[in-house]
Amino acid sequence: MALADRRRINGPLTGTTPPLFTSTPESPISLKSARDIRPVFIKTSLTPPAHGSAYLEIHTSTLKLSASVYGPRPLPPSAPFSPHARVTAEVKFAPFSTPGIRRGYVRDNFERDLSSQLQIALCRAINTAKYPKSGVDVFVTIIDTGSNAREVNEFEILTAAINVSSVAVCDAGVEMVDLVSAGFVGRDAQGDIVCDPENVMEKMCLVSYMAARDEITMVWTKGEMEGEEVVKMTDVAAETAGRTRGVVSEAVKERVWSLQLGGKPDVKMSG
Amino acid sequence: MTSTHQLDIAPIGLSFSAQTFQKLAPDSYLLRHLQRDPPTRPSKRAPDEFRAPTLHTGALAHAQGSAVVRVGDTAVVCGVRGEIHALTLGEGRTKGKISVTRNDAVEDEIKTHALLVPNLELGTGCSKDYHPGPPTDFAQSVAERLRVLLVDTVKMVPAETLRITDDDGEIKAYWVLYIDVVCNSLDGNIFDAAWAAVVSALKSTRLPQAFWDADREQIMCDPDRQLYRRLEVRELAFTASFCIYTNKEEEGEGQKWLLSDPDEFEEGICDEKVLVCVREGGKIARIEKSGGDTDVLEIMPECIRRAKARFDTWKKMLDSQN
- Per residue in B140-193, pLDDT (tens digit) is 999 999 999 999 999 899 988 999 998 888 888 999 999 999 999 999 999 999
Identify the segments of chain A with pLDDT beneath 70: 1-3, 27-28, 147-149, 262-271
| Separation between Cα atoms, residue A235 and residue A207, nearest integer Å | 9
Does B94 score more than 60 pLDDT?
no
pLDDT at B171: 87
pLDDT at B3: 45
How many Å apart are CA A54 and CA A73, to the nearest integer? 19
Q: Which domain does B77 fall in, by range?
A: 53-233
Which fold does the domain A40-261 belong to in CATH? Ribosomal Protein S5; domain 2 (3.30.230)
Residue B28 lies in a domain: no
Cα-based distances in Å from A6 to A3, A9, A17, B138, B144: 9, 7, 20, 15, 12
Nearest to A139 among B25, B124, B220 (CB): B124
Confidence band, pLDDT 50/70/90 cuts, at residue B91: low
Please check whether residue B115 lies inside any domain of the structure. yes
The CA distance from B221 to B212, in Å, is 9
Angle at CA of residue A139, ends A135 and A140, nearest 5°: 150
Q: In sequence order, what are the beta bridge partners of B7?
A: none
pLDDT digits (tens, 9 = 90+) for B266-296: 999 999 999 999 999 999 999 999 988 888 8
Residue of A17, A21, A90 with shortest CB distance to B223? A21
Rounded to whole angstroms, the Cα distance separating A118 from A121 reads 5
Across chain B, mean pLDDT equals 89
Radius of gyration for the alpha carbons in chain B, expressed in angstroms and rounded? 24
Asked if A181 has any chain B CB less than 8 Å from its own CB, the reply is no
Q: What is the CATH number of the domain that holds B145?
A: 3.30.230.70
Question: CB contacts < 8 Å between A and B, how many?
Answer: 191
**List of chain B residues whose C-beta atoms are within 8 Å of the C-beta of residue A22:** 220-223
Tens-digit pLDDT profile for residues B212-255: 988 888 899 998 889 999 999 988 999 999 999 999 888 888 89
Quickly count: other Cβ atoms within 10 Å of residue A8's Cβ.
22
Q: What is the CA radius of gyration of chain A?
A: 20
Task: State the Cα–Cα distance between residues B34 and A204, nearest whole angstrom.
Answer: 60
In a domain, B160, yes or no: yes
% of chain B exceeding 70 in pLDDT: 90
Is B315 part of a structural domain of the chain?
A: no
Contact list, B122 vs chain A (CB under 8 Å): none
Residue A143 touches chain B, beta carbons under 8 Å = yes
Higher-pLDDT residue of B67 and A262 is B67
pLDDT for the residue numbered A1: 43
* Closest residue by Cα to residue A240 from A225, A219, A254: A219
Q: Is residue B186 part of a domain?
A: yes
DSSP H or E stretch at residue A262? none
For A13-22, what is each residue's pLDDT tens digit? Answer: 888 999 988 8
- Which residues are CB-contacts of B290 (< 8 A; sequence separation ≥ 6)? B272, B273
**In this complex, is the C-beta atom of B100 within 8 Å of any C-beta atom belonging to chain A?**
no
Domain ranges of chain A: 40-261
Kindly state whether A68 is in contact with chain B, defined as any CB-CB distance less than 8 angstroms: yes
User: In 3-state terms, what secondary structure has residue B258?
Assistant: strand
Count of domains observed in chain B: 1
Residues of A in contact with B98 (CB under 8 A): 14
What pLDDT shows up at residue B253?
82
- Counting other chains too, the contacts that B247-251 makes at CB distance below 8 Å and 24 or more residues apart are B247/B31, B248/B27, B249/B28, B249/B31, B251/B2, B251/B3
pLDDT digits (tens, 9 = 90+) for B118-136: 999 999 999 988 888 889 9
